């Protein structure tokens, strides 16, 4: 394999990283690459892999694709023992191949010995992926800063992203962990998260987060709520008016029905009422009571 082909294998970010002359004085890494099929039982997962969130459905879909077409893009590994290899990038393809029942998978073997170099390559490879969630990307950028003393300008050059974009991902880590989980699980977008960052108090962040989920607010609507919250207007409008009405209505219905009641507003502003009754006779008794 020619030198040009080897560099294309690693990708723009890794190539920039491996040839970095940043202030952290990263030493040159050997990038000799071989490609061959390796017994899947001889491959180990990198314990320091930055990515931790693997969607089960997506893995199943990828596994089905691999059964049909095989692995189009080999994973990247390094040799750690005489007959063992550790994944540098491509753990998702590796996991899907296991599900597909493959005995061997194609791999690029890179001569990297330093644990720190392996971690750095994994981090950079991860932040260039399009299917990572924003929190994983933010955590990866944060590790590059904390563990390798890189600044946003250096990271920008390595991964090919604007400095402002990198800063926005890192700022998401200021959100309450519950909201971070909501972003990772796609209950809300990065745009929602960026709006919520402007609320310093995490209790208030969660209050608006619950409102976003309950009402299905768009990013634009969320930004408006955040602005109003900052002006102290939202407290009286939402907490005092809406919440009191919901509480009062819930209490009255529970008194009439003699059971627990839930009120919920759908995306069209319609109110949904749900209640549980022990039997059809109890329900009939309530209907007679209401008709009177």
Show which residues are catalytic.
91
Query: Which tokens sit at 116?
Result: 């720190």
- For the chain, the distance separating the N- and C-terminal CA atoms, rounded to the nearest angstrom, is 87
Question: Which residues touch 76 (CB under 8 Å, ≥6 apart)?
Answer: 9, 10, 87, 88, 89, 90, 107, 108, 110, 125
- SS3 category, 87: strand
136 burial type by CB count under 10 A (0-12 exposed, 13-18 middle, 19+ buried): buried
Give the sign of the dihedral formed by CA 181, CA 182, CA 183, CA 185: positive
């Amino acid at each position: 394999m020619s030198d040009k082909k080897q560099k294309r294998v690693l990708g723009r970010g890794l190539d920039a990283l491996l040839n970095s002359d940043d202030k952290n004085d990263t030493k040159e890494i050997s990038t000799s690459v071989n490609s061959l099929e390796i017994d899947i039982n001889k491959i180990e997962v990198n314990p320091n892999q930055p990515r931790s969130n693997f969607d089960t459905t997506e893995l199943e879909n990828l596994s089905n694709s691999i059964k049909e077409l095989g692995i189009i893009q080999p994973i990247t590994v390094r040799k750690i023992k005489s007959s063992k290899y550790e994944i540098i990038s491509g753990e998702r393809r590796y996991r899907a191949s296991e599900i597909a029942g493959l005995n061997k998978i194609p791999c690029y073997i890179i001569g990297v010995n330093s644990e720190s170099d392996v971690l750095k390559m994994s981090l950079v490879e991860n932040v260039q992926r399009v299917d990572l969630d924003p929190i994983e990307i933010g955590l990866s950028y944060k590790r590059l800063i904390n563990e390798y003393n890189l600044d946003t300008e250096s990271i920008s050059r390595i991964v090919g992203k604007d400095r402002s974009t990198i800063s926005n991902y890192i700022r998401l880590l200021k959100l309450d962990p519950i909201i971070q989980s909501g972003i990772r699980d796609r209950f809300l977008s990065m745009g929602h998260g960026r709006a919520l960052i402007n609320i310093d108090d995490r209790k208030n962040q969660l209050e608006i987060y619950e409102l976003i989920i309950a009402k299905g607010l768009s990013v634009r609507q969320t930004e408006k709520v955040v602005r109003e919250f900052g002006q102290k207007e939202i407290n009286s409008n939402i907490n005092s008016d809406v919440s009191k009405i919901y509480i009062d209505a819930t209490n009255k219905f529970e008194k009439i029905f003699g059971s627990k009641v839930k009120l919920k507003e759908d995306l069209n502003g319609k109110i949904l009422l749900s209640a549980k009754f022990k039997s059809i006779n109890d329900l009939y008794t309530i209907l007679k009571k209401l008709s009177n």
